[in-house]
Amino acid sequence: MQKPDDAFCNKAEAYEAFDDIPTNPGCNNTIGDVINRRYGRRDVMRGFLGVTATTTLFGSTAMFAAQQARADETSRYKFTEIPGGIDEKHHIADGYNADVLLRWGDPIHADAPQFDPQNQSADSQLKQFGYNNDYVGFVPLNEEATRGLLCVNHEYTNEEVMFPGLGRQDRDGFSGMTRELVDIEKAAHGGTIIEVARDANGKWAPVLDSKYNRRIQPLNTEMTIDGPAAGHDRMKTTADPDGKTIIGTFNNCAGGITPWGTYLMAEENFHGYFWTDNLDADGKPVLPQSHAISHKRYGVPGRWYAWGKFDDRFNIDKEPNEPNRHGWIVEVDPMDPQSLPVKHTALGRFRHEGAESLKAKTGQLVLYSGDDNRFDYVYKYVSNGKIGEDKSANMGLLSDGTLYVAKFNDDATVDWMPLVHGEGPITAANGFDSQADVMIDARIAADLLGATPMDRPEDIQPHQDGRVYVMLTNNTRRKPGDENAANPRADNSFGHIIEISETDGDHTATKSRWNILVTCGDPLIAQVGAQWGPETSEHGWFGSPDNAAIDAEGRLWISTDQGSGWSKTGKSDGLYALETDGASRGSSKLFFRTPIGGELCGPYFTGDQKTLFLAVQHPGTDGTKDFKGFERASTFEDPATRWPDFKDGIPPRPSVLVVTKKDGGKIAS
């Protein structure tokens, strides 16, 4: 394992940058690094380029105002764009409220303890809102959708701003970590289901005495495992000799709400939680021979967290099969607080970024999911059966279906190739003895099929009209010569978005077409090679698309996660309205932006288009070394922002915001 570098503000960034990718030649300069050096980071707009190139591309201030007025007129999104930039606060378009709804540590039950950052415990955390909110879904409880269940993933923890007096732990072998702190971390992972309600004044608040409120986490939430891998020898551990039950889920990134109203939690960077004490002279893990091929392909063990030092379950020297039990999609019925969540192995094992699904024209369920790793793949799952009225029957659709992986051909077609044991190269001769093996090693099966290695697939958002939007966030390890039509830029610092058009609007199609909607980054810098629609202003372009949503009017919205790379754009992460049709196609407009160091997740629009839920994840952490006037890594005692409380002694808190229009109307309409 390579040591994280001080250039990164927290371990998530550092480990991501040093992720073990076979094609990685080392640490080359990225385009962004070149740009940073050349233009002195992001004084670009105000400085050198501010008086030259911006005038020709975006026009002078007066021209810009006129252009923006014209854009506001033609845009399908009725709001006035906010300026890009970065500071300690969040910003929303004029005429809207963005109110804090739930913060890390807020009670989710009437009898839960209040947040006390100096005296945290796992018991308290189990009754409080978790850390690093990512996916947000909403399941209405009444016709008017004034009450509903908010389903929120808690992806990971940042111990350096979460715990007093600790600092970053990955640099020195986690010397400050204890079993108590690890248990708090576990209790802060997973997800929260909580009832929220809107009052007569249009204000949303949590309902703390609701019977539905629950936390789902890796400390003590029981789950079952179903699908082809359930009960297989490779799923068995000391704690679960049958291979059919498991405690919890973690690193839940994006997710989805199924057409039948269940909550899907995608398990993403599970590899980072596993430990080994068996290291070679270079400090690299020595894998057990029996598990070496699979664990290597999945990056296990990552050693990002100290969990395996205190819990044998996370130590592959003791439990080499445990990693096989993570990297799946978990389904939870939020309407039944006693129900056991289910890990569905029919959807394949990889670093699932998300799990957005819909009812296809045929009546079948189709679910899209990206594998968020450099050079990994885009998948979709098609159920065998059709969606009906019976919820429990519908839940069976995620146990019985076909997983496909995408090959993006140069002729703008896409082949969806099935991962089925016995078909093509997926045979015993190639190491697959059963469909269980195929699902556990979905990545290796996809390798054999010749799937297209992508620039880090993040959220994939299907549209009911037959199109599908694939967020490819960035990939600075793609070398010149490794480009392909669907990943056209080497050293891709800013990412792109692919639009798939499923044949005849049928999401079950196995041969469809694709094109690129936008290539991201600054359109002023030719070297970047960005392409945007004509009405994109200097504030509207972005880098590193991450999550996506389709609103009630069928329009696309994109949220970004640049990590420490925000200094390559000079903008914090935000929510952008992105046109998909007509002459404005590819034009983007900034609606909301996060405080320094945060990424933006969610977003989720209610069916009446009057409420938007946004999740601000890890405020105050990413890239604070480039934050002018701060220029250091954040700690609990010394964070770059104390958003959203701004109170001495209170650290920054990941929070879900609720956005409404001040006049109570529909958002952006």
Is residue 639 a contact partner of residue 161, using CB atoms and an 8 Å limit?
yes
- Count the site residues for ligand FEO by CB under 6 A: 6
**DSSP string for residues in 135-161:** EEEEEESSTT-SEEEEEEEE----HHH
Residue 372 Cβ, how far from ligand FEO at the closest point, in Å? 4
Give the residue with the Cβ less far from Ca ion, 547 or 641. Answer: 547
Helix (H) or strand (E) holding 592: strand 588-593
Is residue 249 a contact partner of residue 224, using CB atoms and an 8 Å limit?
no
* List 372, 502, 573, 626, residue binding ligand FEO (CB under 6 A): 372
In 3D space, the residue among 215, 165, 170, 149 whose CA is nearest the CA of residue 188 turns out to be: 215
Residue 410 Cβ, how far from ligand FEO at the closest point, in Å? 27
d(CA 519, CA 28): 22
Q: C-alpha distances in angstroms, 544 versus 473, 476, 559, 574?
A: 4, 12, 9, 10
C-alpha dihedral (450, 455, 457, 462), degrees to nearest 10:
-90
Which one of Ca ion, ligand FEO, none interacts with residue 372, CB within 5 to 8 A by kind?
A: ligand FEO
When CB distances to Ca ion are compared, the closest residue is 546
Site string for ligand FEO, 316-355 (x = CB under 6 A): -------------------------------------x--
Identify how many contiguous H helices and E strands the chain contains and give both numbers: 13, 31
d(CA 449, CA 560): 31
Which one of ligand FEO, Ca ion, none interacts with residue 499, CB within 5 to 8 A by kind?
A: none
Give the residue with the Cβ less far from Ca ion, 523 or 603. Answer: 603
Give the total residue count for the chain: 669
Residue 353 Cβ, how far from ligand FEO at the closest point, in Å? 4
Q: How many CB atoms lie within 10 A of CB 61?
A: 10
Residue 253 Cβ, how far from ligand FEO at the closest point, in Å? 3
Residue 667 Cβ, how far from ligand FEO at the closest point, in Å? 25
- 418 burial type by CB count under 10 A (0-12 exposed, 13-18 middle, 19+ buried): middle
In 3D space, the residue among 490, 540, 489, 548 whose CA is nearest the CA of residue 519 turns out to be: 489
End-to-end CA distance of the chain: 50
The angle at the Cα of 266, spanning 394 to 293, to the nearest 5 degrees, equals 115
* List 458, 502, 538, 626, residue binding ligand FEO (CB under 6 A): 458
Binding positions for ligand FEO, 508-567, rule CB under 6 A: none
Q: Does 460 bind ligand FEO (CB under 6 A)?
A: no
Residue 100 Cβ, how far from ligand FEO at the closest point, in Å? 22
Give the residue with the Cβ less far from ligand FEO, 106 or 155. Answer: 155
Which one of ligand FEO, Ca ion, none interacts with residue 455, CB within 5 to 8 A by kind?
A: none
Residue 485 Cβ, how far from Ca ion at the closest point, in Å? 25
Give the residue with the Cβ less far from ligand FEO, 160 or 546. Answer: 546
Which one of ligand FEO, Ca ion, none interacts with residue 579, CB within 5 to 8 A by kind?
A: none
Which one of ligand FEO, Ca ion, none interacts with residue 268, CB within 5 to 8 A by kind?
A: ligand FEO
Is residue 348 a contact partner of residue 403, using CB atoms and an 8 Å limit?
yes
3-state DSSP of 167-185: CCCCCCCCCCCCHHHHHHH
Give the residue with the Cβ less far from Ca ion, 130 or 285. Answer: 130
Residue 613 Cβ, how far from ligand FEO at the closest point, in Å? 17
Q: Does 268 bind ligand FEO (CB under 6 A)?
A: yes
Q: Does 573 bind ligand FEO (CB under 6 A)?
A: no
In 3D space, the residue among 351, 357, 369, 434 whose CA is nearest the CA of residue 406 turns out to be: 369
Residue 539 Cβ, how far from ligand FEO at the closest point, in Å? 24
Binding site for Ca ion (CB under 5 A): 253, 546
d(CA 378, CA 449): 13
d(CA 589, CA 125): 38
Is residue 262 a contact partner of residue 329, using CB atoms and an 8 Å limit?
no
Q: Does 267 bind ligand FEO (CB under 6 A)?
A: no
Residue 135 Cβ, how far from Ca ion at the closest point, in Å? 8
Is residue 79 a contact partner of residue 98, using CB atoms and an 8 Å limit?
no
Give the residue with the Cβ less far from ligand FEO, 353 or 573. Answer: 353
* List 225, 253, 257, 395, residue binding ligand FEO (CB under 6 A): 253
Site string for ligand FEO, 97-136 (x = CB under 6 A): ----------------------------------------
Residue 268 Cβ, how far from Ca ion at the closest point, in Å? 7
Q: Does 155 bind ligand FEO (CB under 6 A)?
A: yes
When CB distances to ligand FEO are compared, the closest residue is 253
Give the residue with the Cβ less far from ligand FEO, 155 or 319. Answer: 155
Q: Is 478 helix (H, G, I), strand (E, B) or coil?
A: coil
Residue 542 Cβ, how far from Ca ion at the closest point, in Å? 15
Which one of ligand FEO, Ca ion, none interacts with residue 155, CB within 5 to 8 A by kind?
A: ligand FEO
Burial profile 19-32: b = 16 or more Cβ within 10 angstroms, e = fewer: beeeeeeeeeebbb
Which one of ligand FEO, Ca ion, none interacts with residue 599, CB within 5 to 8 A by kind?
A: none
**DSSP string for residues in 339-371:** PPPEEEGGG--S-B---EEEE-TTSEEEEEEEB
Residue 254 Cβ, how far from Ca ion at the closest point, in Å? 5
Is residue 250 a contact partner of residue 331, using CB atoms and an 8 Å limit?
no
Give the residue with the Cβ less far from ligand FEO, 352 or 593. Answer: 352
What residues make contact with ligand FEO under the rule CB under 6 A? 155, 253, 268, 353, 372, 458
